Structure 1
Amino acid sequence: MKSLQAFVAAATLTTAFAGVGAPTPANAFTGGSFPACTEQGVLSYMAHRFVWTDDHVIQRGLRVDDITHARENKYEPATEIHQVGRRYCQATAWMNDGTKREMWYLIEEGMGFAGLGDNVEFCISGLDPWHVYGAWCRSVR
């Protein structure tokens, strides 16, 4: 009788925790809001992050004064096979030295720190000296 009770208890616990080890998709934490290429929060994030990058890495004294003509080039929704939604974008970055440069950026749904929020990667034409994003910013185009 005790072995039957132990079996039933074990079966109940196994059933109760069956979903505990299953991976949770990252987009479950985003609240369903996946920012557009033109969203002000995305554009200001890139401008502020570029300041840090220039101050600590490139060291040319450059700043992004304005970002215009933001548009989406391609959208890859999250699927069972590709579980991260991606939005590929392009814009024009107006620099503090008076030049305008093309910029490409990628918004990844649910790929923020620890899977919370979204991630933005960007590349400004001519300002990726180590080709972090490939030649001509190819990996974020």
Structure 2
Amino acid sequence: MLAFQPAAQAANPLEMNFWLSGPHYDGNVPGCESALDTISSRFSAKEGEFWNSGLQITGFANVREVAFRPWASNTIPRRFCSASAMLSDGHARQVHYSIIEDGGFAGYGPDVEWCVTGLDRNWAYNPACKAARP
């Protein structure tokens, strides 16, 4: 039955040029320090809501940029950063995160993806937050 299906057709010139202009990224991604408040609040919410933990980030140190647009130039611009986070249990842990241009709700504004090493309880970025780095 699949043999009698018509072949897929490419978009015609009208379809290719009508409202399909594609994304226009400027590469205007905020600095590494701009995401720290977001990471703190989201970490606290995640620990409290999903893991029934009162663990919080109390401060950051050694904030540094790791890479900016490390892949091809036509990909979504990202700034990869790393920092040391002091937690409310007295332990310091590494935080790896990226700030994504137009990654916010409905593509409006920047957004942050982050991982705290040793506390990636759902293993989204395992092993050791490697998937959160470039």
TM-score (norm 1): 0.75
Of 116, 119, 134, the match for 2:111: 119
For the pair shown, the structure with the greater C-alpha radius of gyration is 1
TM-score (norm 2): 0.78
Other structure's SS at 1:34 match = coil
Q: Which residue of 1 aligns with 2:55?
A: 62
Deviation digits for residues 53-106 of structure 1 (CA, Å, limit 9, x no counterpart):
0111122210000011110111117733x2x01111100110011111111001
Gaps of 5+ in 2: 1-13
Other structure's SS at 2:96 match = strand
- Does 2:96 match 1:96? no
Gaps of 5+ in 1: 1-14
Q: Which residue of 2 aligns with 1:7?
A: none
Letter aligned with residue 79 of structure 1: S
Across the two proteins, how many residue pairs are aligned to each other?
120
Letter aligned with residue 122 of structure 2: W
- Does 2:35 match 1:37? no
* Distance of 1:119 and 1:26 partners within structure 2: 17
Q: Which portions of structure 1, spanning 4 or more consecutive aligned residues, are displaced by more than 2 angstroms?
A: 77-80
* Distance of 1:52 and 1:133 partners within structure 2: 18
* Distance of 1:117 and 1:24 partners within structure 2: 17
Q: Which residue of 2 aligns with 1:8?
A: none
Q: Alpha carbon RMSD of aligned pairs, Å? A: 2.3
Letter aligned with residue 46 of structure 1: I
- Does 2:73 match 1:73? no
Of 106, 112, 133, the match for 2:125: 133
Higher helix residue share: 1
Other structure's SS at 2:128 match = helix
